[in-house]
């Protein structure tokens, strides 16, 4: 099995395991993750925070997004374009999100696009992480390109059951600076 096949097989296993997690436990874990992220010194020092808008079985980021607004910081969220390209779009309200490709909530058209270099702190999703920040993403390469260009402090979030000793990595796969679990 080559590396791409190994990644695809692991993605399939993790996606299935995510669906088996207890919803009540996940809610408790989500609150813990949000608290840990928003007390990090790198978060506290940030003026512009990038955070993904979570999908159903990912760690839920709504509490993080709300905290960014409460703390008076500028919030930017991803909008995925074609060919693995992602934009960072300023968001000031949940009302500015609409379902897009694969029913993923993304910012509406016409909102300000923020240059990656203006982002100070980024919360990054993955299917799994290693303790040293290697990640297994969804496979589109969006976040690898983003992290290579942005230069922000990157914080990966996942449930501890998806913090693995190893994940298959290719040379273009970017690491996060820190991984936060519940």
State the CATH number of the domain containing residue 147.
3.40.50.10420
Tabulate helix, strand, coil % of the chain (nearest 5): 40, 20, 40
Residue segments in the chain with a per-residue pLDDT below the cut of 50: none
- Position 131 scores a pLDDT of 98
Domain that includes residue 128, residue range: 3-180
Query: 21-30, pLDDT tens digit by residue?
Result: 999 999 999 9
DSSP 31-65: HHHHHHHHTSHHHHH-SEEEE----TTSPP-HHHH
Q: How many domains does the chain have?
A: 1
* Residue 144 phi, psi (nearest 5): -65, -45
CA 165, 155, 161, 140 torsion-angle sign: negative
Please name the helix (run of DSSP H) or strand (run of DSSP E) that holds residue 86, with its range, or none: strand 86-90
What per-residue confidence (pLDDT) applies to 140?
85
């Amino acid at each position: 099995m080559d590396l791409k096949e190994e990644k695809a097989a692991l993605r399939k296993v993790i996606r299935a395991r995510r669906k088996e997690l207890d919803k009540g436990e996940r809610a408790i874990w989500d609150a813990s993750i949000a608290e840990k992220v928003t007390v990090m010194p790198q978060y506290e020092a940030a003026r512009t925070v990038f955070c993904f808008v979570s999908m159903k079985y990912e760690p839920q980021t709504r509490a993080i997004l709300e905290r960014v607004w409460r703390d008076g910081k500028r919030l930017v969220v991803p909008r995925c374009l074609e060919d693995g390209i992602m934009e960072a779009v300023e968001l000031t309200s949940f009302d500015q999100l609409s379902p897009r490709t694969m029913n993923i909530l993304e910012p509406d058209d016409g909102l300000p696009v923020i240059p990656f270099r203006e982002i100070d702190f980024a919360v990054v999703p993955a299917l799994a992480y290693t303790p040293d920040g290697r990640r297994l993403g969804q496979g589109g390469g969006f976040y690898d390109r983003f992290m290579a260009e942005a230069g922000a402090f990157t914080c990966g979030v996942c449930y501890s059951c998806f913090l693995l000793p190893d994940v298959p990595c290719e040379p273009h796969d970017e690491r996060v600076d820190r991984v936060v679990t519940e």
